[in-house]
């Protein structure tokens, strides 16, 4: 599953960049995120619980920040294991464009799953993956815009 999108965020690029690297902000915005902890400046350990159709699974795994080009772009990628439900892996290339007092956040998401989850059908998986990605970026936008407005 591949998806592109963008969010116009009411905050300067430096504020958006800082939030993209803040585990507390990311944890609050990742749908179903139970825990997210930094293990190094570019690695995080995560636990996420999601539901895809009739299958609910808790995934544990690692998140890696790479291709760092502050405060303009990076790649965030992760892989998680969900026991008998299978595995999920994917990532997003994130690019920030400075537009005065606002920032245009552009993203390209790629996701792949295997195991029991893969048997649910491509259409259900694609629609759920897109919904989760859109929810993350919309929640991130709302949170960062509110932080910037609060000063």
Query: What CATH number does the domain containing 117 carry?
Result: 3.30.530.20
Question: What's the pLDDT at 81?
Answer: 93
- Look at the chain and report how many structural domains it folds into: 1
Residue 114 — pLDDT band, cuts 50, 70, 90? confident
pLDDT tens per residue across span 22-63: 999 999 999 999 999 999 999 999 999 988 888 888 999 999
pLDDT tens per residue across span 51-106: 888 888 899 999 999 999 999 999 999 999 998 888 888 889 999 999 999 999 99
Question: Is the alpha carbon torsion for 31, 37, 40, 41 positive or negative?
Answer: positive
pLDDT at 138 over 90: yes
Question: What's the pLDDT at 53?
Answer: 82
Contact 80, 87 (CB under 8 A): yes
Cα-based torsion angle of the residue sequence 69, 71, 73, 75 in order, rounded to the nearest 10 degrees = 80
Separation of alpha carbons 124 and 128, rounded Å? 6
Domain span at 118: 2-150
Question: What's the pLDDT at 88?
Answer: 87
């Amino acid at each position: 599953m591949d998806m592109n999108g963008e969010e116009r965020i009411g905050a300067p690029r430096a504020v958006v960049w800082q939030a993209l690297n803040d585990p507390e902000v990311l944890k609050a915005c990742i749908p179903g995120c139970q825990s997210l902890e930094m293990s190094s400046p570019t690695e995080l350990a995560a636990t996420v619980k999601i539901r895809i159709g009739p299958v609910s699974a808790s995934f544990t795994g690692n998140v890696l920040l790479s291709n760092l080009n502050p405060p303009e772009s990076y790649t965030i990628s992760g892989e998680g294991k969900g026991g008998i439900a299978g595995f999920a892996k994917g990532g997003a290339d994130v690019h920030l464009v400075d537009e005065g007092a606002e920032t245009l956040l552009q993203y390209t998401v790629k996701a792949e799953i295997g195991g029991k989850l893969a048997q649910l059908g491509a259409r259900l998986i694609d629609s759920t993956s897109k919904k989760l990605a859109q929810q993350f970026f919309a929640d991130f936008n709302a949170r960062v815009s509110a932080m910037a407005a609060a000063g």
